[in-house]
Amino acid sequence: MAFTLPNLSTLFTKEIKSVIGIDIGASSIKVVQLRREKGRVILETYGAIALGPYAGLEIGRATALGADKIAEALKDVIREANVTTNDAAISIPYASSLVSILKLPMSVEKQLPAVVPIEARKYIPVPINEVLLDWFVVSDTKKTPADGKIEVLLVAIHNDTIAKFRSIASSAALTTAFFEIEIFSAVRAALDHGLAPIAVADLGAGTTKFYVVERGLIRESHIINHGSQDLTLAASRALNLTVMQAEERKRKFGLTGGPEVADLTKSLELSISPLVAELSRTIAGWEQRNNQTLSGLVLTGGGSTLKGLKELMQQKVNAPIRMADPFGKTAAPAFLEKILKDAGPEFAVAVGLALRRLQELG
């Protein structure tokens, strides 16, 4: 599917740089094109394309496509969405990366460039020369921590992953400004600047990413092995439907279909309950370990748009829940407000990528 905002580009006589954020997920590719005008971030176009058909699978299914097929799908969605720029930022899947917090003695602060790669070997299961390694201090260095240690955020991406995504970008004739692990993009689009710790759950097709953000920094992150395709496959088996039929009904009715689709509702509730229970346990565990209360839980990702999910989760999770609204950080015609709000969680990563690129351009 693709959504183009007609005639927006003709409103401006001065040429202004447009950028595109590209989120290559397991089940779909999402693209968002933004530009900055007089201090406002303007949404020019956005679109999504399912990857299932490129793997001979149904829409909504997670895939493991090679670079050539992903590039084919990317070119298709760029064309369908009428993207007009090749200045791109692309996400790297969280599962293809390592993100960890290192605690190191304050005494090594000035030797971090030498110390971090050595410490990283304890966390990275492959030789250091096979990964792209980055890190930065997340502790407040103006204060001496009680335990005498500083915290360093370690980020590592395998060189093969970078090479794959460079190949995809090249095949699609894109100039890639940067690659960014998806969780950082999602945080930029889904959250406002705040001091209180807050959790984000990114519900994808195959997995759910969970992370806690405090003072704009990711303090904890991990993957929960439950995703939105689990609901579709379970409904297909339980209701004797094809996977495509189950996916269509899931999207149409969700958890709010009423008595006429009670069997579907029951199946979806049973399928989603392990994920909700694990999220609840994870939140409670973090709060207990850190002796803090999370200020809320933000839902993002395509799976979070399931009708009635937020309300169901609020009954089980002891934290205020809200949906991510990344398009709320952009300017678009008023008549699209509801459409963009509903679609927003699915496009958080792509919006976050484009926002960062605009910030870099100044």
Proportion of the chain above pLDDT 90, given as a percent? 66
* Confidence at residue 193, expressed as pLDDT on a 0 to 100 scale: 75
Answer whether residue 156 shows pLDDT above 70.
Answer: yes
Answer whether residue 80 shows pLDDT above 50.
Answer: yes
Q: What is the CATH number of the domain that holds 116?
A: 3.30.1490.300
Averaged pLDDT for residues 79-92:
96
* Confidence at residue 9, expressed as pLDDT on a 0 to 100 scale: 45
Residue 6 buriedness (CB in 10 A; 0-12 / 13-18 / 19+): exposed
**Across the chain, what does the average pLDDT equal?**
89
Q: Is 205 within 8 Å of 61 (Cβ atoms)?
A: yes
Answer whether residue 245 shows pLDDT above 90.
Answer: yes
Asked if the structure places residue 141 within a domain, the reply is: yes
Distance CA 218, CA 138 (A): 9
Q: Is 16 within 8 Å of 40 (Cβ atoms)?
A: no
* Confidence at residue 135, expressed as pLDDT on a 0 to 100 scale: 87
3-state SS class at 250: helix
* Confidence at residue 209, expressed as pLDDT on a 0 to 100 scale: 92
Distance CA 33, CA 85 (A): 8
Residue 201 buriedness (CB in 10 A; 0-12 / 13-18 / 19+): buried
Asked if the structure places residue 193 within a domain, the reply is: no
Phi-psi region of 26 (alpha: psi -120 to 50; beta: other; left: phi over 0): alpha
Judged by average pLDDT, the poorest of 16-25, 72-81, 117-126, 177-186 is 117-126
Is the full-model pTM beyond 0.85? Answer: yes
Look up residue 337 and give its two tokens: 């407000």
* Confidence at residue 293, expressed as pLDDT on a 0 to 100 scale: 92
Look up residue 258 and give its two tokens: 């009423």
Write out the E strands in the chain.
2-4, 18-24, 28-37, 40-50, 87-92, 97-105, 131-137, 149-158, 175-181, 198-203, 208-214, 217-224, 297-300, 321-323
Domain count, the chain: 1
Q: Is 156 within 8 Å of 124 (Cβ atoms)?
A: yes
Judged by average pLDDT, the poorest of 88-92, 147-151, 256-260 is 147-151
Highest mean pLDDT: which range of 36-45, 105-114, 134-143: 36-45
Per residue in 259-315, pLDDT tens? 889 999 999 999 999 999 999 999 999 999 989 999 999 999 999 999 999 999 999
Asked if the structure places residue 87 within a domain, the reply is: no
Q: Is 203 within 8 Å of 303 (Cβ atoms)?
A: yes
Asked if the structure places residue 183 within a domain, the reply is: no
Residue 232 CA, chain-centre distance (Å), reads: 21
Asked if the structure places residue 106 within a domain, the reply is: yes
Averaged pLDDT for residues 43-66:
93
- Residues with Cβ within 8 Å of residue 288, at least 6 apart in sequence: none
- Between these two residues, 107 and 6, which has the higher pLDDT value? 107
At 216, the pLDDT band (50, 70, 90 cuts) reads confident
Answer whether residue 358 shows pLDDT above 90.
Answer: yes
Asked if the structure places residue 130 within a domain, the reply is: yes
* Confidence at residue 145, expressed as pLDDT on a 0 to 100 scale: 65
Averaged pLDDT for residues 16-28:
93
Distance CA 64, CA 26 (A): 7
* Confidence at residue 162, expressed as pLDDT on a 0 to 100 scale: 94
Asked if the structure places residue 150 within a domain, the reply is: yes
State which residues form the domain around 153. Answer: 96-159
* Confidence at residue 6, expressed as pLDDT on a 0 to 100 scale: 46
- Between these two residues, 110 and 288, which has the higher pLDDT value? 288
Asked if the structure places residue 136 within a domain, the reply is: yes
* Confidence at residue 258, expressed as pLDDT on a 0 to 100 scale: 84
Find, among 342, 272, 361, 287, the residue nearest to 319 by Cα.
287
End-to-end CA distance of the chain: 31
At 188, the pLDDT band (50, 70, 90 cuts) reads very high
Tell me how many degrees the CA angle 333-322-224 measures, rounded to the nearest 5. Answer: 115
Distance CA 136, CA 113 (A): 10
CA atoms within 13 A on the CB side of 219: 19
